[in-house]
Structure 1
Amino acid sequence: MWIADQGDGTYTNPILYTDYSDPDAIRVGEDYFMIASSFCNTPAVPLLHSKDLVNWKVINYIMDQLPFDYYDKPVHGCGTWAPAIRYHEGTYYVFIPMPDEGIMMCKTTDPWGKWSEPAYVRKVVGWIDPCPFWDEDGKAYMVTAFARSRIGFKSMLYMSPIEPDCSGVLDDGQFIYDGHATQPTIEGPKLYKRNGYYYIFAPAGGVKPGWQTVLRSKNIYGPWEEKIVLHQGNSPVNGPHQGAWVDTPDGQDWFLHFQDVGNAGRIVHLQPMHWENDWPVIGVNAVDGCGEPVLRYKKPEVGATYPIDTPEDSDFFEGDRLGLQWQWNANYKREWYELKDGQLLLHAQAADPKTQLCDISNLLLQKWPAPEFSITTCLHLEQMKDGDVAGLVSLGGCYTALAVQKIHGKMSLQQRTGNWTKDDEVRTSLGEWNSDVIYIQMKVEKETYRTFYVGTTEENLQPVGQMVEATPGRWVGVKDGLFAINEQGAAGGSVAADYFVYQEL
């Protein structure tokens, strides 16, 4: 859908028009790995891979399930916040903050394979955005920020000595930086060392209007000098911050960060970076060492040319496992679905009829891949039972769905629309449906306007229901997908999907 690689040695930003929020990245040899937050969705914490920093694929997830039973239901805005990934002595480590539970860690020697089950680094409420660091003397540290919503304050950074194997903290640590005066809402710290200086790269100023700050010190506990090194400037890229410094094998420096664009979420940009007087300068058109984002630039020199590629989006359900573009709305159960004979079978799960659709666990979702697109799916309805409701859902702050409902042996169309922060779901009947097959299409225009179309074939689609304007969810962009539930407390039936296809408008 969205292709950043221009095929002529240049790329355009964003490199991913997809909600890979709070990105962190590393290079190991010639391979780049990037992770992102995913809140209450599972599998959790997507892991992406690239050879050139422009073309990325999702290759794995760090956690299959969130390690607490209450995430069996959606807990919007909770779960996995801004993670960090590091490589040390042959092992990959991912630190994952769960603001209501603590700092978790998973590790592996094979990022494509199984990651360890999450273990506490520190069980604590309100600590967020951890980043581990190993110094030349073998000592290890973790820098963190704070969530005011959980602990009562923010704009502070904290340093903790930790076990070198990341199995826990060694002592209580200490506050190392107070950003209230000059760097409000400083968070998302990433810790590095270069030329005898310790560096903390950290966003400040808030998610949408903020900037990228860098702190430096000769002592890991400070005091810290500070400098703003990237801001919006005259570019259209608001809040260019929170991300990762990475280099190429031949020593070029680059910075990955997000931009919050609302409905599509926090999309990912790539900026050139260089050093002046032991300070990083990010972007272009720098004034006093503070740059602004590029919109088009020469690709990183990585010693080879790699194919143009993007994360998966469309799915024809031809494999024996769900594609890595999919996540569920909460901890999932394997019995919710089957992949069989080139179809996805969704088994209708029991749901209280009073529960809003946004709070249903078995919504199968994926992120928006572009600012405008259409989705088309074909659903077979022969196995639906009384009480079943199934269809296509677009989940955001304001959500909407086009569904088929079966009651007393008869099927009808229904649109469900509501807001996740209110108990206000409206269920509008759209007439009978007299076919065992339904084609549903949803168009998203101008990153906002969602309109449904239905038909008995893909060639005779007709508009149906109301256009619904999208709004983002809690810290997340809009996601779209499929669902099947039963609202009569009985064993539900199933629907079979032939495909779920994105197309450009």
Structure 2
Amino acid sequence: MKRIIHILTIVLAFYRFADAQGYKNPVISGFHPDPSVCRVGNDYYLVTSSFEYFPGVPVFHSKDLINWTKIGHCLTRPSQLKLDKCGSSAGIYAPTIRYHEGRFYMVTTNVSAGGNFYVHTDDPAGEWSQPIFVEQGGIDPTLYFEDGKSYFISNGKGITISEIDLKTGKRLTESKIVWGGTGGRYPESPHLYKKDGWYYMLISEGGTEYGHKMTIARSRSIYGPYDSNPANPILTHINENAQSNPIQGTGHGDFVQAHDGSWWVVFLGFRPQSLLHHVLGRETFLAPVRWDTNAWPVINGNGTVDLDMKVPTLPLKPVKQPDYSTSFNESKLGVDWVYLRNPFIKYYSLTEKKGSLRLKSSPITLDEHDSPTFVGRRQEHIDFSATTLLSLKNATEDDQAGITAYYSPQAHYDLFLKKSKDGKHKVFLNYKMGVLNHLANEVEIPGDHVYLQVKGDKDFYSFYYSIDGKEFKFLNKINVWYLSSETNGGFTGVLLGLYAQSKNKNTKAYGDFDEFIYKPTL
């Protein structure tokens, strides 16, 4: 009988492997850091950080942990998310998503306004509740539920836990520090799991950079003491065996047990591309976990991961290939589009010209920690092109509208249309790099409409314009370095944005954008 069971186990393992032969990392590309995941039946839901962008906390859905579809955002109303004049890489940090008694909870920190809070919903693709704030300091909070009790965990001077009233957020017990990590700096991103009678506390250490790592401890009691895994860290690319890996900065993860019983971890990392600079931001990666009874979890065998993961997976459930382009024919912008901080909606219209996005010039510029007239989508590929058709109306020499490769107020490359004093229209290319503003090129065009194009590769952003949309003329190129996290600091990635701004506070100018075409290139 044992021999038959053994044979059946081998056969089932073979079919599982044959059914799904691996996947490519990252599973969610571009600026999507600090992933957290939960499972409901055969469905998986994932959230990531959003910082100064609105709406906040994108929500993804998957059937296989590999193919993800963005279905909405948790924070879609200014009453949920106050970002007024917040700094770059401020705002919303490190969310966690959990499912409890038929309801989804997303807990996070607004470091610019209010601190730790959570929202809830019965439909993760729909509207979420108003925030419920918790008076426990630190960042990177998570929720844990057991035996009718709700626990709130965050990091401050150490990993801290308290019991709360889930309806009100009020603490029912004093906050207690239960673990300080293994000695790495910035112990953060705690997540708690219970398995085989053990409470496992997963955290990250080392800072969200090249020294990032994931460590774990366990206890028989939720309040500790927690004993560190002798094999820590369980995930890192700081060691020699991963020094040349194209994925770096791995950490800040969340475990999930799949519906077939297997364990997985989602986590962040980044892909250096030019002299070890990265501009896509921190992305979402996936790895298998071996977690035997009463044992410590082991990630992908040796605690490292690859772009090409040749491992058995869940049966793959492919989703519709994303359409990266936008025709602006819908009544509202799609879920890939975000604003800088809380937008002034009066400057945006999808109805005043059918099939166009109208952006009305604002006296707030891209150089400010404010909300300029700007909508953008994440750059998701190292090699890409982004093209838009722009018409500029009611403009004077004080007005401009165009496309920008945007990292922060101190770092953005702008390709824009502007009217000169003599009434002629010109295309300008300007680089903002810290205190340096460099006008790289200007070209006169025959009318008030033009195609503007940005292309990216491993080393450069290149800029083009066209009158007919067929023949594009090269303007200039510049290194990617000056839009990188290594140059500017911060935790975000480059967005490709459409914008309109003016030096005149009484401006009546606007730009009509008739399309936005984003294409990954090989």
Equivalence for 1:479: 495
Equivalence for 1:114: 127
Equivalence for 2:7: none
Q: Which amino acid aligns with 2:506?
A: A
Given that 1:22 and 1:83 are in contact with CA atoms closer than 8 Å, whether structure 2 keeps it comes out as yes
Secondary structure of the residue aligned to 2:470 is helix
Q: Which is further off, 71-80 or 450-459? A: 71-80
Equivalence for 1:134: 145
Secondary structure of the residue aligned to 1:482 is strand
Equivalence for 1:284: 300
Q: Could you report, residue by residue, the CA deviation over 1:369-400 in whole angstroms, capped at 9, with x for unpaired residues?
A: 11111111111224545532100001125311
2:506 and 2:80 mapped to 1: Cα distance?
27
Equivalence for 2:167: 165
Q: 1:350 to 1:365 in 2, by over 3 A?
A: same
Q: Which amino acid aligns with 2:90?
A: C
Shift of 1:297: 2.8
Normalization by structure 1: what TM-score?
A: 0.88
Shift of 1:198: 0.9
Equivalence for 1:343: 356
Equivalence for 2:83: 71
2:214 is the alignment partner of 1:212: yes
2:435 is the alignment partner of 1:435: no
2:427 is the alignment partner of 1:425: no
Given that 1:358 and 1:399 are in contact with CA atoms closer than 8 Å, whether structure 2 keeps it comes out as no
1:411 to 422, 425, 430: 425
Equivalence for 1:391: 402
Matches within 5 A, 1:487-502: 487-502=503-518
Secondary structure of the residue aligned to 1:350 is coil
Given that 1:157 and 1:177 are in contact with CA atoms closer than 8 Å, whether structure 2 keeps it comes out as yes
Q: Which amino acid aligns with 2:236?
A: H
Given that 1:400 and 1:468 are in contact with CA atoms closer than 8 Å, whether structure 2 keeps it comes out as no
Secondary structure of the residue aligned to 2:31 is coil
Q: Which is further off, 270-279 or 15-24? A: 270-279
Equivalence for 2:59: 47
2:114 is the alignment partner of 1:104: no
Matches within 5 A, 1:348-363: 348-351=361-364, 356=367, 360-363=371-374
Secondary structure of the residue aligned to 1:349 is coil
Q: 1:32 to 1:217 in 2, by over 3 A?
A: same
1:253 to 263, 287, 294: 263
1:308 and 1:68 mapped to 2: Cα distance?
30
1:103 and 1:144 mapped to 2: Cα distance?
9
Secondary structure of the residue aligned to 2:23 is strand
Q: Which amino acid aligns with 1:416?
A: N
Given that 2:214 and 2:253 are in contact with CA atoms closer than 8 Å, whether structure 1 keeps it comes out as no
2:250 is the alignment partner of 1:240: yes
Q: Which amino acid aligns with 1:293?
A: V
Secondary structure of the residue aligned to 2:71 is strand
Given that 2:217 and 2:227 are in contact with CA atoms closer than 8 Å, whether structure 1 keeps it comes out as yes
2:281 is the alignment partner of 1:265: yes
Q: Which is further off, 160-169 or 243-252? A: 160-169
Q: 1:279 to 1:366 in 2, by over 3 A?
A: farther
1:118 and 1:489 mapped to 2: Cα distance?
35
Given that 1:189 and 1:201 are in contact with CA atoms closer than 8 Å, whether structure 2 keeps it comes out as yes
Q: 1:373 to 1:299 in 2, by over 3 A?
A: farther
2:407 and 2:80 mapped to 1: Cα distance?
24
Shift of 1:192: 1.3
1:410 and 1:501 mapped to 2: Cα distance?
27
Secondary structure of the residue aligned to 1:379 is strand
Q: Which amino acid aligns with 2:154?
A: T
2:453 and 2:426 mapped to 1: Cα distance?
17
Q: Which is further off, 251-260 or 310-319? A: 310-319
Shift of 1:89: 0.8
Q: Which amino acid aligns with 2:314?
A: E
Q: Which amino acid aligns with 1:316?
A: S
Equivalence for 2:9: none
Q: Which amino acid aligns with 1:204?
A: E
Q: CA-atom RMSD, angstroms?
A: 2.4
Shift of 1:99: 2.5
Q: Which amino acid aligns with 1:160?
A: S
Normalization by structure 2: what TM-score?
A: 0.85
1:296 to 309, 312, 327: 309
Given that 2:441 and 2:475 are in contact with CA atoms closer than 8 Å, whether structure 1 keeps it comes out as no
Secondary structure of the residue aligned to 1:335 is helix
Q: Which is further off, 199-208 or 164-173? A: 164-173
Given that 1:430 and 1:465 are in contact with CA atoms closer than 8 Å, whether structure 2 keeps it comes out as no
Shift of 1:120: 1.1
2:474 and 2:103 mapped to 1: Cα distance?
53
Aligned length: 477
Shift of 1:359: 5.2
2:251 and 2:322 mapped to 1: Cα distance?
22
Q: Which runs of 5+ in 1 are unaligned?
A: 1-6, 147-153
Q: Which amino acid aligns with 2:470?
A: E
2:370 and 2:444 mapped to 1: Cα distance?
26
Secondary structure of the residue aligned to 1:307 is coil
2:235 to 227, 230, 234: 230
Given that 1:190 and 1:202 are in contact with CA atoms closer than 8 Å, whether structure 2 keeps it comes out as yes
Given that 1:38 and 1:46 are in contact with CA atoms closer than 8 Å, whether structure 2 keeps it comes out as yes
Secondary structure of the residue aligned to 1:496 is strand
Q: Which amino acid aligns with 1:121?
A: V
Equivalence for 2:46: 34
2:200 and 2:342 mapped to 1: Cα distance?
37
Q: 1:248 to 1:395 in 2, by over 3 A?
A: same
